[in-house]
Amino acid sequence: MQINSQRFGVVELEDDAILTFAEGIIGFPRELSFALIPHHGSTYLAWLQSVTKPDLAFPVVSAHYFVDGYPDIPVSPAAHAAGVQGNEDDFAVLVVLCAPIGQPATVNLLAPIVVNSETRTGAQVILDGSRFSTREIFVAPPAARAEQESSEPATALAVG
């Protein structure tokens, strides 16, 4: 299948590469289908690109690259409440990155995007009781910095 993207042009994807969000993403309830497009081959940074709106793409970071303390509460209850079934081991956890020019980059650790890597279904969930906020300063973790310096990429971002 082909999708149009303002940022990437025409992107060719396998049909099973599409991620489905029954409730959309916070602020975009009608956008139900997205593709995950790695940023310049990165395994920790990608774009969650809408399949139907070429100009809608969210930069996301794999939560697998954060320190051991994230997430600080189980993701499964919030994921299950949002309709994403499966075990915690089946979930890829992504956080939305905000990087305005001239300001520090932040990530939304309070409301991650959870995707079941087997069923390719997902939801943006709110981790009630988490100590994290929607605007945590983002510093590329050591694993991400090592990936940038090496020619051998890591594999944490893959959903599927």
Q: Which domain holds residue 8?
A: 2-148
Average pLDDT on 50-70 reads 89
Tens-place pLDDT, residues 23-53: 999 999 999 999 999 998 888 899 999 999 9
Question: Is position 121 within any domain?
Answer: yes
Question: What are the residues facing 136 on neighbouring strands?
Answer: 107
Question: Is position 154 within any domain?
Answer: no
What distances in angstroms separate CA 32 from CA 26, 27, 75, one per listed residue?
11, 12, 21
Question: Is position 155 within any domain?
Answer: no
The residue behind tokens 């994403």 is 84
Residue 54 to residue 51: CA distance in whole angstroms: 7
Residue 125 to residue 147: CA distance in whole angstroms: 28
2-11, 20-29, 138-147: least confident range: 138-147
User: Which CATH number fits the domain that encloses residue 43?
Assistant: 2.30.290.10
Q: How confident is the model at residue 142 (pLDDT cuts 50, 70, 90)?
A: low
How many domains in the chain?
1
DSSP, collapsed to helix, strand or coil, labels residue 72 as: coil
Q: What is the pLDDT of residue 149?
A: 58
β pairing state of 57-62 and 121-124 = unpaired
Of residues 137 and 159, which shows the higher confidence score? Answer: 137
